[in-house]
Amino acid sequence: MVRRKRLHILIGSTSGVVFLLALLAVVFPITATSATSSDVMDPYLQEQTTFSESATVEAIVLLPVLRRDPTPSPTTPSQSILLNGGFEQGSEVWDSYSSNGWQLILKDVDLLVPPHNGRWAAWLGGDNYETSILSQEIYIGAGATTLRYWHWIASEDVCNPDYDIAGAFINDTVVDAFLLCAANNSNGWIMRTVDLSAYAAQSVTLLLAAFTDGVLNSNLFLDDVSLGSMEPVAPGRTMEVADNTITKSTFLGISDNSIEVTEEINGYRTAINEFFAANLGNLPAENK
């Protein structure tokens, strides 16, 4: 009897949602009538499990309330698309490159500093002659053209664009750059903002990169990469770094295994060096 009423819904409904729920009800008739609520995944079916069998049938008859036309998808997305910006899904979506073969997206137990949020963050640099690059294809919606990312610099080097540097690229163009050096140590998480309105309504490649030379270690930690409007965001927390000299090598007990850096990767370092050569006089004080 119960089954017949459900079948009636299946035949009488034109909504895809109702069809699906009805189909579920047909496929899992025993679950819907006699199982405990924890066994039923659908919230609407879950409710009915608190009633008797006759009440169950009543609840299902009410399901057409769900019938709605789906919101039509816009042909051009208005929202920006940048996925897994907090790295909480590990390496999902991001492409990683480390010239020394390091994993760049790490859990808190493998990081020198606590993540800005969650349990995951990215660790760039941290080794000699290290090129670390994270990248993903993003869509910059017209109303959300400000790139934000939280960074934490822990370096023992002196400030010089020929030594340790970092920055953000859109495609092959430098859009943000700073020196990794002791004078710029952040001793905590600091948010950077980058105006990407020049790329509004475009799909582009975002790269976040750090480059180190052969002496005096520099670490760059990243978390909570996002695209949004220019609204202000609350300041981040700060924490002292106990020892800037710790490197990935000493921390994780892994020796260097240098991998030849490709021409393309060298191109990024060249581009960021050229950026510094052209803009160093105009950079904010913290980056000089």
Tokens of 86: 């907090």
106: amino acid identity, one letter:
L
Cβ contact 203:170 at 8 Å: no
* Least CB distance to Ca ion at residue 232 (A): 21
Which of residues 9 and 179 has its CB atom nearest to Ca ion in the complex? 179
Tokens of 82: 């940048």
* Least CB distance to Ca ion at residue 230 (A): 23
* Least CB distance to Ca ion at residue 105 (A): 9
C-alpha 152/C-alpha 141 separation (Å) is 27
Which of residues 115 and 141 has its CB atom nearest to Ca ion in the complex? 115
Tokens of 94: 């991001």
* Least CB distance to Ca ion at residue 88 (A): 5
Binding site for Ca ion (CB under 5 A): 86-87, 115, 117-118, 120-121, 157, 163-164, 212-213, 216, 223
Separation in Å, CA 41 to CA 21, 35, 44: 11, 11, 9
Which of residues 163 and 189 has its CB atom nearest to Ca ion in the complex? 163
- Residue in 224, 222, 225 with CA at minimum distance from that of residue 210: 222
Sign of the four-CA dihedral 277, 278, 279, 281: positive
Which of residues 63 and 104 has its CB atom nearest to Ca ion in the complex? 104
Contact residues for 38 (Cβ-Cβ < 8 A; gap 6+): none
Cβ contact 50:37 at 8 Å: yes
Which of residues 64 and 90 has its CB atom nearest to Ca ion in the complex? 90
Which of residues 25 and 165 has its CB atom nearest to Ca ion in the complex? 165
Contact residues for 170 (Cβ-Cβ < 8 A; gap 6+): 196, 199, 204, 205, 206, 207
* Least CB distance to Ca ion at residue 223 (A): 4
* Least CB distance to Ca ion at residue 179 (A): 10
Which of residues 9 and 105 has its CB atom nearest to Ca ion in the complex? 105
* Least CB distance to Ca ion at residue 231 (A): 21
**Number of other residues whose CB lies within 10 A of the CB of residue 15:** 16
- Tell me the Cα Rg of the chain: 26
